[in-house]
Structure 1
Amino acid sequence: MNSLKTLVRTTSVGVFELFAKDALKSTVRGRRPGVWSQKRRFSHGSSAGIHLSTDRAAGGGEPLPAPCGGRGEGLFSGLEDLLFYTITEGEERVPISHFIAALKSTGLLTSDPRLRDCMEKLRQAVRECTGEVMMDRELFRKFVGGNIVLLSLAFRKKFIIPEFEEFVAIINQIYNRAKEEDDGQVADYIPHLAKFSPSLWGMSLCTVDGQRHSAGDTKVPFCLQSCVKPLEYAIAVHEQGTEHVHRFVGKEPSGLKFNMLSLDEDDKPHNPMVNAGAIVISSLIKVNRHSLTPSMEYVGFSNATFQSEKETGDRNFAIGYYLKEKKCFPCGADMIDALDFYFQNKSVVNVMFAAHSGDVSALRRFALSSMDLEQKDYDCRTALHVAAAEGHVDVVQFLTQTCKVNPFVKDRWGNIPLDDAIQFAHTKVVKILQEYQQTYSVQSSPDVPDHIKQSKLGSVEGIM
């Protein structure tokens, strides 16, 4: 093993390349794991095969493939050992904090959904240990699981930004220079926007491989405004295809202001980035299928901004009616619905954003207006999932004790709200949900008389 450690310290990248090439060759040629000669096994560590995806493993966000063959007898085990000694710089044991720091230096964050299983096992190890957790090879193998391909790409510097820390240093310089600029003024064409502080400034980036970095006030929600136009266009193209989308919207610049009542020679909006084009794009999107709430991070919705913009959106209504007159909308599309969607996502986003930000007052208003607080987003997550993941005790108490929502709803990964609270170590929320689950089980049991069960939604007095 000492020779292996020395080898890793000097030629780890080359050895990883050799392992990957051997694995691919064995797959192509049909070799079975474990049939290589003893000499080959000694020179390359071990002999089992590994299946590598044809996609770049870091880019798609899908679960990475599991190893082929037994862990202890194959090439996969050798890859894990080489990756371990690369990260630890040849040491047999390092603190878990060392692993986390090394991971972040590649641009991957612990909140990356592709590392969810790895991070959960790591948190479990921390919970079970009273002192500082030291990571050895055995514990490392337990952590990495199906993430060996992603992590090897990261630590071999095969991501789109190989020297990520140097790149981040340049980005931070740009951020700091821009922060010194104080010209201009806060947008006031929509009254609600005029209330925002001009001192807020944040910047975030995410590469195609999932490397992420943020600086400044990135936790403060802000209104996307016209920045959402390319996102809507991308969703429409993804759902309908480029050819269908551009039956209704052109591709060329208009040469006019973005909010002009103007169409091209074919009576279509000039492109998806002007207001007329964005309104038509909104009519093409299947609203009920989409929620901009990826994984544990959320794109929210401000009802105040929506109402404010809608009240001052006379020009956009004029554009909408002009488009309707020129029959620019697809068959069956409703112009008012398209405008509403252009101004905002729908009620589920309201609920999710309130739960994410800990806004009990907003949730109370929704409950009083008979809004369904058990509705699900695109990932089948409820407001209780979101509040549990964020650790908002008061929101969890309101949803459970007052609104009596179902605590056993599973998201598309099979997790209930309690699982999210445990994963992020929100102990108070865990206790509340555990106690509520017992009560809810009793209330929903068919053996309990109806007069003993409490109502699904509390009284108005209870909500208030």
Structure 2
Amino acid sequence: MPATKKPGNRQQDSGRSTPGSLPGGSIGSDEFAVGRYGKLFNSFNIDSEGRISAVELGVRLRESGILESDPRVADVWAELRHAVGDKGQTWIDLDGFIGLCKNGGGVVEKSIRGDFVIPDFAALQAEISTIFEGLQSVHGGHVADYIPQLGRVDPEKFGIALCTVDGQRFAIGDADNLFCVQSVCKPINYCLTLEEHGADIVHQHVGREPSGRGFNELTLNSDGLPHNPMINSGAIMCCSLLRPAWEMADRFDHVAETWRKLAGGGAVGFNNAVYLSERRTADRNFALGYFMREHQSFPTGTDLMETLEFYFQCCSIEVDAQALSVVAASLANGGVNPLTGERIFSADTVRKCLSLMSSCGMYDYSGEFAFVIGLPAKSGVSGGLMIVVPGVMGVCVWSPRLDAMGNSVRGVAFCKELVNRFNFHVYDSFAAGEVSGKRDPRRGKIEEEVASTIRLLWAASQGDLDVVRIALATGKDPNSMDYDRRTALHLAASEGHLDVVRYLLDRGASPTVQDRWGGTPLSDAQRGAKGSVVTLLESAAALVV
């Protein structure tokens, strides 16, 4: 067999590979492919034979959030597993690497380039893990014991999973434990009714305003309709609109199949015990149904008992946090599943659904949640919480302990931590996201470093001590430089901002650092005749050994 060629030796290719190398096929003459993928190949550690490690490639994929269960790269992972086998290390030549990139449909290439929506996914994983560990000590709230089966769930269960619109995934804790979606089914059923009937017809039977009342309260709006689709009465109404002429089994299959499509192959099932338990303790939901029928809210010909049974079945659909995060990511991606590329809902349907999730998705806490968190979300009394960061990612938190309003205690606490660390709040783009010290994970390491340096230097030049404090509080080096090697102390000294100069010196800024022209903060202050600053910097410079 021919010896493995080093990158650049592209005269011919027999279609065979050396022992220990992945086969690449007859692509040696494809100079365009060599040019496109050669630089990516060279970003790995290359051995003396001009090959890279299959293990290192697998590590790079996982670090970027591309998991073995991703259907887009199933063939890639299969080849890597087969190659490594029991040997522990197998090498890939350039041809083999190009073949893997092509088999991955662009996912492998984007992963190595860092072209995903979250370029530094490993950093995001670390942040989520830190939040998870910090919430382990939160034990407030109680499980939903008014439904007997839910009351038996271990209250200490806790899992977090996320999926980006590029299919990057991460999970921690009990993210593979199944739980019933309960009220998290409401956004999905609402989307289905919009797809089937359109908004005009749907909202002839259900409103779209927050109720200001309990999620299961016996109340209707001034038109005799449920206030919105995110409370029990509105969800029951949506069930009456879903394929009403079909047999019950077919109606449920329609909903369950939609969940499977949204989850992209994730775990989706049905918990019959919860269904029976909920049905037996559903006096309030029966009362809501009869109340709406009394007000003639339902479409003509609605079978109330069948509608209620259908509603209980939808609430008893079972998922794990990983699957629900992909469902949320499908909504974040405008109705397209990021793992399969399949469009499940139209972008207009998703826009309407997310609008109501933002205003009505968190029971009586919806207004406060919109104010503090600023993200569309839907909670369920099983402890599940589905959060959507539009255009970025979907998140699921599962923790069964609930607060007085029926929301997961740890779930809400997680959301607060998330938006405190990252500028995900819908209005963070208005100044606060630029000066609050929040990070934008949509930027890569280099972009974020440059942006934070610019913020620090600009604040120093303007004498904005508050922003300087915030920048340094987030860990920014006070001696960070621009391309001219000028620091915040150079700029503050040039402009004579004494308070900023004093603060920077107290935080370790060097008074003797030189810019590209040899200028120091002291010489800049002297040139500008900033007397008080000159005196302070002379004292500081004298202390430097």
TM over 0.5: yes
Corresponding position: 1:193 with 2:193: no
- Give me the whole-angstrom Cα distance separating, in 2, the residues matched to 1:103 and 1:192: 40
Please provide the CA RMSD for this pair. Answer: 3.3
User: Could you tell me which amino acid in structure 2 is paired with residue 82 of structure 1?
Assistant: K
Residue in 2 that maps onto 1:101: 59
Alignment match of 2:185 (pick from 224, 228, 235) = 228
- Give me the whole-angstrom Cα distance separating, in 2, the residues matched to 1:232 and 1:125: 44
Deviation at 1:118, TM superposition (A): 2.3
Residue in 1 that maps onto 2:271: 302
User: Could you tell me which amino acid in structure 1 is paired with residue 67 of structure 2?
Assistant: L
Aligned length: 288
Residue in 1 that maps onto 2:74: 116
Corresponding position: 1:255 with 2:220: no
The Cα offsets for residues 422-461 of structure 1, whole Å up to 9 and x where unpaired, read as xxxxxxxxxxxxxxxxxxxxxxxxxxxxxxxxxxxxxxxx
Deviation at 1:299, TM superposition (A): 1.8
User: Could you tell me which amino acid in structure 2 is paired with residue 95 of structure 1?
Assistant: S
Residue in 2 that maps onto 1:66: none
Report which structure shows greater RCO (CA 8 Å, sep ≥6): 2
Alignment match of 1:289 (pick from 254, 272, 276) = 254
Structure 2 spans left out of the alignment, 5+ residues: 10-26, 244-250, 321-341, 343-545
- Give me the whole-angstrom Cα distance separating, in 2, the residues matched to 1:153 and 1:316: 49
Alignment match of 1:145 (pick from 86, 102, 122) = 102
TM-score w.r.t. the length of structure 2 is: 0.48
Secondary structure of 2:291's aligned partner: helix
Confirm or deny: 8 A CA contact 1:108 1:211 kept in the other structure: yes
Instruction: Give 1 or 2 for the bigger CA radius of gyration.
Output: 2
Q: Quick one: structure 1 residues 337 and 98, their matched pair in 2 at CA, closer, same or farther if it must change by over 3 Å?
A: farther
The Cα offsets for residues 295-326 of structure 1, whole Å up to 9 and x where unpaired, read as 43212211111100100001101111222333
The Cα offsets for residues 314-345 of structure 1, whole Å up to 9 and x where unpaired, read as 11011112223333333454322322222124
Alignment match of 2:303 (pick from 321, 334, 337) = 334
Q: Quick one: structure 1 residues 123 and 236, their matched pair in 2 at CA, closer, same or farther if it must change by over 3 Å?
A: farther
Deviation at 1:254, TM superposition (A): 0.8
Confirm or deny: 8 A CA contact 1:107 1:210 kept in the other structure: yes
Corresponding position: 1:82 with 2:39: yes
Corresponding position: 1:321 with 2:290: yes
Deviation at 1:123, TM superposition (A): 3.8
- Give me the whole-angstrom Cα distance separating, in 2, the residues matched to 1:125 and 1:89: 18
Deviation at 1:217, TM superposition (A): 1.0
- Give me the whole-angstrom Cα distance separating, in 1, the residues matched to 2:147 and 2:117: 39
Confirm or deny: 8 A CA contact 1:118 1:147 kept in the other structure: yes
Identity of aligned residues (%): 37
User: Could you tell me which amino acid in structure 1 is paired with residue 100 of structure 2?
Assistant: F
Residue in 1 that maps onto 2:167: 210
Deviation at 1:133, TM superposition (A): 2.6
- Give me the whole-angstrom Cα distance separating, in 1, the residues matched to 2:254 and 2:142: 37
- Give me the whole-angstrom Cα distance separating, in 2, the residues matched to 1:170 and 1:268: 44
Alignment match of 2:312 (pick from 338, 343, 346) = 343
Deviation at 1:146, TM superposition (A): 4.2
The Cα offsets for residues 195-215 of structure 1, whole Å up to 9 and x where unpaired, read as 111111111111222111111
Confirm or deny: 8 A CA contact 2:101 2:109 kept in the other structure: no
Deviation at 1:243, TM superposition (A): 3.3
Residue in 1 that maps onto 2:117: 160
Confirm or deny: 8 A CA contact 1:250 1:271 kept in the other structure: yes
Q: Quick one: structure 1 residues 330 and 208, their matched pair in 2 at CA, closer, same or farther if it must change by over 3 Å?
A: farther
Confirm or deny: 8 A CA contact 2:114 2:120 kept in the other structure: yes
Q: Quick one: structure 1 residues 345 and 184, their matched pair in 2 at CA, closer, same or farther if it must change by over 3 Å?
A: closer
- Give me the whole-angstrom Cα distance separating, in 2, the residues matched to 1:234 and 1:75: 44
Secondary structure of 2:160's aligned partner: strand
Secondary structure of 1:324's aligned partner: helix
TM-score w.r.t. the length of structure 1 is: 0.55
The Cα offsets for residues 55-105 of structure 1, whole Å up to 9 and x where unpaired, read as xxxxxxxxxxxxxxx88435344323333333x245532332211110111
User: Could you tell me which amino acid in structure 2 is paired with residue 218 of structure 1?
Assistant: A
Q: Quick one: structure 1 residues 162 and 332, their matched pair in 2 at CA, closer, same or farther if it must change by over 3 Å?
A: farther
- Give me the whole-angstrom Cα distance separating, in 1, the residues matched to 2:188 and 2:230: 10
The Cα offsets for residues 183-226 of structure 1, whole Å up to 9 and x where unpaired, read as 22222111111111111111111122211111111122122222
Confirm or deny: 8 A CA contact 1:80 1:148 kept in the other structure: no
Q: Quick one: structure 1 residues 324 and 135, their matched pair in 2 at CA, closer, same or farther if it must change by over 3 Å?
A: farther
Q: Quick one: structure 1 residues 98 and 284, their matched pair in 2 at CA, closer, same or farther if it must change by over 3 Å?
A: farther
The Cα offsets for residues 264-311 of structure 1, whole Å up to 9 and x where unpaired, read as 122221111110011112233343334222443212211111100100
Structure 1 spans left out of the alignment, 5+ residues: 6-69, 354-378, 380-464
Secondary structure of 1:145's aligned partner: helix
The Cα offsets for residues 103-160 of structure 1, whole Å up to 9 and x where unpaired, read as 1111221211221232233344456x86633222222233232435233333222222
